[in-house]
Amino acid sequence: METIKSGVSEKKVTFKSEGEKITGKLLLPPNYEAGQALPAYIVLGPWTQVKEQVQYAYGKELAGLGFVVLNFDFRYWGESGGKPRFYESTGEKVKDALNAIAYLKTLPYVDAGNINLLGVCAGAGIVTRVALKSDDIASVATVAAWLQHPASTPQFYGGEEGVQQRIALAEKARKKFDEKGSVDYVEAYNPDDYRAAMFFPLDYYGNPQRGAVKAWDNKFAVMGWKEWMELNSIDGIADKLEIPVVMVHSDGSALPDNVKKFYGMIPSKNKELVWLEGEHTQFYDSGDHIGKALKAIMEFTTARVN
């Protein structure tokens, strides 16, 4: 174990998902004593990210609050296996998260009856899907949720024409990969290139002091566009969530109307919507915004450490 922030211990771990090796970091709270089985969190971050970005920012804080935390790279990203590299797929990420839960349940550090999920940005669309597929989740939390929906997707990508152009590019790239094994890439972030996955100004991804960390590769497999353009993270999901759900959002975060709609559809009697202030990416790495988000989650969840 390596000691990091405020006595939190960090251990590199591996497990299998769909036949590929997944690499992650297990964070243990300060003064952890052998034999303790503690409540746990899995943190899932925005699309194209690796475990050293948003997952780490939240993970170290949750470990400091007394939780065991598992951060990991999805297949195709970071230190984990799988090809094509830099392939964005919500469906495949859900499978990895389910395998991560199975792995957590084998660890002596973890209370297998108290595993919780936290999804930030696009991670919200993953944790909510996972909660429908797993009986092992105690609660779900989202922060600055990017809840994709076909009705709102065109506003970000040049209307319906832009959506269809990206789907066509993805289908062509997938065919090329299947037939020749070669992969078409664009940059994950470039505010000066409309072809990039994120082509609007975002200081987070352009700033080495924020999201442009060494572990992150600024690449996006074009074949990932099809699933992303057609993704629906609201219908058939929100109305089936029966477990405790807390959502933290703001007017300055992405798709606030989608979040309100999602929350209104949740049938769980144990739910809360917390509205804070802040721009979307401030919830990625600002200590103040992360602190306020986690405070709201801890006040809500029955899994908090007393």
Report the CATH number that the domain containing residue 96 is assigned in CATH.
Answer: 3.40.50.1820
Residue 183 in domain: no
Q: What was the pLDDT predicted at 100?
A: 98
Residue 247 in domain: yes
Q: What was the pLDDT predicted at 305?
A: 39
C-alpha 77/C-alpha 83 separation (Å) is 9
Which of the four pLDDT bands, split at 50, 70 and 90, describes residue 2? low
pTM of this prediction exceeds 0.85? yes
Percent of the chain with pLDDT over 70: 96
Residue 240 in domain: yes
Residue 75 in domain: yes
**What tokens does 266 get?**
């949740």
Q: What was the pLDDT predicted at 127?
A: 98
pLDDT digits (tens, 9 = 90+) for 61-104: 999 999 999 999 999 999 999 999 999 999 999 999 999 999 99
Q: How many domains does the chain have?
A: 1
The strand ranges marked E within 255-295 are: 271-279
Q: What was the pLDDT predicted at 3?
A: 52
Q: Mark 146-156 as b/e (b = at least 16 C-beta within 10 Å).
A: bbbbeeebeeb
- Cross-strand bridge partners of residue 166: none
Q: Given a cut of 90, is residue 125 above it in pLDDT?
A: yes
Q: What was the pLDDT predicted at 46?
A: 98
What average pLDDT does the chain have? Answer: 95
Residue 179 in domain: no
- Taking alpha carbons only, the member of 88, 83, 76 closest to residue 223 is 88
- Any alpha helices (H) in 48-186, and if so which ranges? 54-64, 90-104, 123-133, 159-180
Residue 288 structural domain: 2-152+231-300
**Residue position matching structure tokens 């089936």:** 240
What is the full DSSP assignment across 8-71?
-EEEEEEEEETTEEEEEEEEE-TT--TT--EEEEEEE-STT--TTTHHHHHHHHHHHTT-EEEE
